[in-house]
Copies of this chain bind each other. A is one copy, B any other.
Amino acid sequence: MKKGLLIVNTGDGKGKSTAAFGMVFRAWGRNFRICVIQFIKAETGQWGEIKAAKKLGIEWHTTGDGFTWTSKNMDETIARAKHGWELAKEKIASNQYDLIVLDEFTYTMVYNWLDTDDVLEWIRLNRPSDLHLVITGRSAPEALIQAADLVTEMTPIKHPYEQGIVAQAGVEF
């Protein structure tokens, strides 16, 4: 039995988004049709992964404003999340992709910017059966875990911030 997988990378550790980008790298190697939608990162960010995607012509959308639950303008943050989800629905339903990544998408559900049950029901009804859909972010809701085929929890064992080392370009962003 082969089929598209609903994949969730969650947990408090590093590597949730990074593993999704590793899947993008691998899938690009196989000439898969790929779309990445990022839900928190601002459009203006100069992230290594965005530079790479641009160079490779991989479709990549940043729909956030860089703020989240600490936003000073929560209406804007929520509106951006809803817009990102509309974009995601359009891409998923188009049946034009082999791999779609919804990066940091769990937060839209965790903070109730979107209704988890509505999102999961829509995915259940509309995801093409051969589409791999990857969702990343901390605190994946239990209903999402139930709906997923593959769930990995990234657990921090040791983190350089604890030692006073700052985030490193090319490694963490």
Residues of A within 8 A of B (CB): 1-5, 7-11, 13-15, 17-30, 32, 47-55, 98-99, 132, 145, 148-160, 163-166, 168-171, 173
Contacts and interface: CB of A to CB of B under 8 A. Distances in A.
B15 A154 contact: yes
B149 A158 contact: yes
Given A1-B164, A25-B49, A151-B156, 8 more contacts: A17-B22, A21-B22, A21-B25, A25-B52, A26-B170, A27-B171, A30-B48, A153-B154
For the residues of A in contact with B, the DSSP-based class is mixed
Contacts of A23: 18, 22, 170-171
Contacts of A169: 30
Contact of A47 (B26, B32, B166): B26
Nearest to A3: B165
B27 A48 contact: yes
Contacts of A4: 168
A156 B149 contact: no
Contact of A99 (B8, B148, B171): B171
Which residue among A15, A27, A54 has the maximum number of chain B CB atoms within 10 Å of its CB?
A: A15
A98 B10 CA distance: 28
Which residue among A26, A29, A148 has the maximum number of chain B CB atoms within 10 Å of its CB?
A: A26
